[in-house]
Structure 1
């Protein structure tokens, strides 16, 4: 696996459409750190189903990114993304850590 921190486009930028939308809400930041995903999340939706919809759209968009930037077949990468989701959901439980406002573990 490629170490994302060493790729030239490591930093992501805020899309212009989002930056110009005064009602835009950031709901998730996600990093790969020390071999595991690390994220900060905001429960911005009253209905958790909406977050599932966001995750589904992210999976579909990521398959297109693999196609456009890595030359992979989009449908095959989508199947692989879904396989990873299924394996993770069926796998062992994991710990959810929270931080106190201002930082530090709660």
Structure 2
């Protein structure tokens, strides 16, 4: 082979090498972008599912707390009625005692 042919082969091999290197670089970049896109989509799906689950739990908790608050209000109403009855009885007893101790006041 002559010197010109040798330099032509060297240039061809170098060109092929850099072309292959560029091709692999582009392919790896596309692969990484595709994988990142897949991870992004999966994370988005998980976040959406988590939001839906948390929303359901919050709704259930609100209902449960509302039910407990209603039950507590009902119990407080019963206690208020009982206390009013006891205070009325106590008031009658105090009035009776006052009439006996102070018969001229009323």
Q: Please state which band the TM-score falls in when normalised by the shorter chain.
A: under 0.3
Q: Which structure dedicates a bigger proportion of its chain to helix?
A: 2
Which of structures 1 and 2 has the larger relative contact order (alpha carbons within 8 angstroms, sep 6+)?
1
Q: Which structure dedicates a bigger proportion of its chain to strand?
A: 1
TM-score, normalising length: structure 1? 0.23
TM-score, normalising length: structure 2? 0.23
